[in-house]
Amino acid sequence: MAPLPWSTSAPGYTPPLAGLEQVTINGRNFYRVSKPPYLTRAVIVAAGIELWEWTSVSLTRGWNNNPPTTWRFVTSEQELPNDPEGWSALRLRPPDPCRVFLDGWLAGSGFIKTRQVFYDANQHVVELQGVSTVDMSNYTPAGSKTGEFQNKDVLQMAQQLFGMIDIGTSARGVLTGKKFDRAAPQPSESIWDFVERFARSSKALMGDDEQGNFVLGGSAFPGNGRPQLIEGFNVVSGREIIISPQQAGTTIFSGQGPGSDKQSMSDVAQPSAKGSATDNTGSMMSGSLGRSLSEIPFFAQGLLQDRVTHENNINDSNLIYVYITVVGWQRPSGGLWAPGDEVLVYSPMLIMQRPLMIKSVTYSQDSNGGTKSVLELVNPTALGQGTEPMTGGQ
């Protein structure tokens, strides 16, 4: 079997961190190349070629996005120095492995998934679309030698499954560490779908890092200095959605599990757990009692309770969405804006004076909008973190 195109044994593969400088800012590690042509622009490194003459650039990373990182780069006709054949971008095609740099900072590692080319008598255009290596988990069936996992937590299962396709796994924040007695993939279930089922019952988020590794997010994310986003100062534009849903303030999750010598059928036939959303926005209307079924068999009360908590956290994200556009790709302290970072938002017009968490970031650059980042912000509780009550922006 030939090596996978993103595998460390694939011909021409360049390790994601080879030749990069590691920079630690507020406890976070970033990786960069601080030399031309990487500075002040977007660069794709693929097939041993550095490409930077783009007319349009867009890259998005976010928690619980599938795939976690995607990018779209468009270029017009060009001929690079020392490139006798010209049209280097044309020769790139799926599934060439590549890395993306923004202002010299490593922003994503993965492979080209789609290539589109158009030409006529007046113009030549190439569009490359790429994804994180984590995307391969959507096409690889989950499995093990025994067909199941016993007494493992979600991180251990993810490490084993993503390791099958040469993708590393790490954790950010604090995971519950609770183990599942037995976890069996469904027929042809993908790695991503299988891990997601158990991540929900572990209060864990799913994402990736700049190196293309899979990341599980827990509670208590490392601090990043809480940069401030201030109306009239560093905010180019702001958009806000506050919803007043008439939904259940309390949710009950039910499940079923196998009987054993330790648990009788009456104990596992109809277990349930109850939880309430943390409405610190004052916008939720009371509704009927919510009921849902657990996706996985019941093994312990704590796992079912974590599933309820995860659902309520996600419901919190439906209350507030704030989209803030800032100039450039870097935070005030350096490094790129990143999902999971907490920021302080002060915007009287959005009636926001509170901490919010970055759920996703879209970096872009073109001739019309210049270089900018759009931050999708939600309640920190939506990402399993704590927060203060919402106050006005007066």
Tens of pLDDT along 353-388?
888 889 999 999 998 889 999 999 988 766 655 544
Q: Are strands 180-183 and 149-152 parallel, antiparallel or unpaired?
A: antiparallel
Mean pLDDT of the chain: 79
Of 101, 117, 132, which residue constitutes the final position of a domain? 132
Give the global pTM. Answer: 0.80
Is the same domain home to 26 and 108? yes
CA distance 64 to 371: 25
Q: Which helix (H) or strand (E) holds 311?
A: helix 301-317
Q: For residue 181, is it within any domain? A: yes
pLDDT winner (highest mean) among 17-31, 83-97, 138-152: 138-152
84 in a domain, yes or no? yes
Is the same domain home to 236 and 339?
yes
Domain assignment present for 5: no
Q: Does a structural domain hold residue 41?
A: yes
Find out whether 308 and 251 touch, Cβ atoms under 8 Å.
yes
Mean pLDDT over 118-129 rounds to: 85
Q: In the block, which residue shows the tokens 């899979």?
A: 214
Q: Report which of residues 218 and 76 the model is more confident about.
A: 218
Give me the amino acid identity at 9: S
Last residue of a domain, one of 291, 312, 333: 312
**Judging by beta carbons within 10 Å of its beta carbon (0-12, 13-18, 19+), is residue 147 exposed, middle or buried?**
exposed
Asked if 211 and 287 sit in the same domain, the reply is: no
DSSP run (H or E) holding 378:
strand 370-378
Neighbours of 217 (CB within 10 A): 23
Residues 32, 121, single domain; the answer is yes
Residue 101 confidence class, pLDDT cut points 50, 70, 90: very high
88 with 146, same domain: the answer is no
Domain membership flag for residue 14: no
Domain that holds residue 184: 137-217
The rounded distance, in Å, linking the Cα atoms of 199 and 154 is: 6
Specify the higher pLDDT residue, 4 or 161: 161
Residues 158, 204, single domain; the answer is: yes
Same domain as 238, residue 352: yes
- Preceding amide of 84 cis, omega within 30: no
Tell me: do 60 and 107 sit in the same domain. yes
Peptide bond into 37 cis (omega under 30): yes
Write the pLDDT tens digit of every residue in 160-213. Answer: 999 999 999 999 888 888 888 888 888 889 999 999 988 888 888 899 999 999
Judgement on whether residues 54 and 128 belong to the same structural domain of the protein:
yes
CA distances to 128, 241, 353, 379 from 373, rounded to whole Å, are 20, 19, 21, 19
| CA nearest to 279, candidates 336, 320, 308, 238 | 320
Tell me the C-alpha to C-alpha distance, in Å, between residue 116 and each of 45, 133, 269: 18, 20, 54
Token pair listed for 102: 């923004």
CA angle 335, 336, 342 (to 5 degrees): 100
How confident is residue 391, by pLDDT bands cut at 50, 70 and 90? very low
**Judgement on whether residues 235 and 341 belong to the same structural domain of the protein:** yes
- Boundary (domain end) residue, out of 79, 98, 132: 132
**CATH number of the domain enclosing 212:** 3.55.50.10
**The domain spanning residue 350 has which CATH number?**
2.30.300.10
Task: Look at residue 13 in the predicted model and tell me its pLDDT.
Answer: 46
DSSP-based three-state secondary structure for 108: strand
Residue at 253 is within a domain: yes
The answer on 344 and 281 residing in a single domain is no
Same domain, 66 and 176: no
Q: Is residue 2 one of the residues assigned to a domain?
A: no
Please state the domain count of the chain: 4
Does residue 391 fall inside a structural domain? no
The model's confidence at residue 352, banded by pLDDT at 50, 70 and 90, is confident
Is pLDDT at 320 greater than 70 in this prediction?
A: yes
CA–CA dist 211, 42 (Å, integer): 16
Q: What gap in Å lies between CA 373 and CA 387, rounded to an integer? A: 24
Confidence of residue 25 (pLDDT cuts 50, 70, 90): confident
DSSP state of 3: P
